[in-house]
């Protein structure tokens, strides 16, 4: 697989009620869902069209999410997430969640741009990012 640096790579619904979200999107989009265990013991839900992964659902249940509404989060592919995080800080942005590894997925960070917009960025584990 090949990914362009800066391209949208993944979409994730951050939800307080993933079961209701799965029900809604299975009816509206025809998505099927596959459970993916997380290192925290939680479950991440991968949305599928056929056998192609198209999005994910992350359950917000930790106190750090108190007051955060349900929302879709975009993830952008980058060549080197650690270097990109340094560039973000140098450009007036901030790191909301420092880079972390997700086996077979990639190295991910949640960041905020200089204007306040929050997004995910990741160096995909599979393929090349140019």
User: Domain holding 8: CATH number?
Assistant: 3.10.180.10
Range of the domain at 92: 2-61+70-129
Degrees to nearest 5, angle at CA 111 with 108 and 115 = 155
**Cα Rg, the chain, nearest whole Å:** 15
So what's the pLDDT on residue 96? Answer: 95
Question: Is residue 129 over pLDDT 70?
Answer: no
Question: Is residue 83 over pLDDT 70?
Answer: yes
Q: Encode pLDDT of 14-73 as tens digits.
A: 999 999 999 999 999 999 999 999 888 899 999 999 999 999 999 998 888 888 899 999
Q: Encode pLDDT of 90-118 as tens digits.
A: 999 999 999 999 888 899 999 999 999 99
So what's the pLDDT on residue 40? Answer: 86
Question: Is residue 87 over pLDDT 70?
Answer: yes
Task: Tell me the pLDDT band of 80, cut-offs 50, 70 and 90.
Answer: very high
So what's the pLDDT on residue 107? Answer: 95
Output the CA torsion sign for 40, 61, 109, 78. Answer: positive
Three-state SS string across the chain, please?
A: CEECCCCEEEEEEEECCHHHHHHHHHHHHCCEEEEEECCCCCEEEEEEECCEEEEEEEECCCHHHCCCCCEEEEEEECCCHHHHHHHHHHCCCEEEEEEEEECCCEEEEEEECCCCCEEEEEEECCCEEC
- What pTM value is reported for the model? 0.86
Q: What is the C-alpha separation between 3 and 128, in angstroms, rounded?
A: 6
Question: Is residue 128 over pLDDT 70?
Answer: no
In this structure, the chain runs to a length of 130
Count of domains observed in the chain: 1
């Amino acid at each position: 697989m090949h990914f362009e640096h800066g391209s949208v790579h993944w979409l994730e619904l951050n939800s307080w009620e993933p079961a209701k979200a799965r029900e809604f999107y299975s009816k509206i989009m025809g998505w099927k869902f596959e459970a993916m265990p997380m290192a925290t013991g939680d479950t991440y839900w991968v949305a599928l069209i056929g056998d192609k992964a198209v999005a994910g659902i992350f359950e917000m249940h930790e106190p750090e999410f108190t007051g955060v509404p349900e929302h879709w989060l975009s993830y952008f592919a980058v060549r080197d997430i650690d270097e990109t995080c340094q560039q973000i800080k140098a450009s007036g942005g901030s790191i909301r969640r420092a880079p972390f590894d997700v086996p077979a997925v990639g190295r991910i960070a949640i960041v905020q741009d200089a204007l306040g917009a929050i997004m995910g960025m990741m160096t995909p584990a599979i393929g090349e990012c140019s």
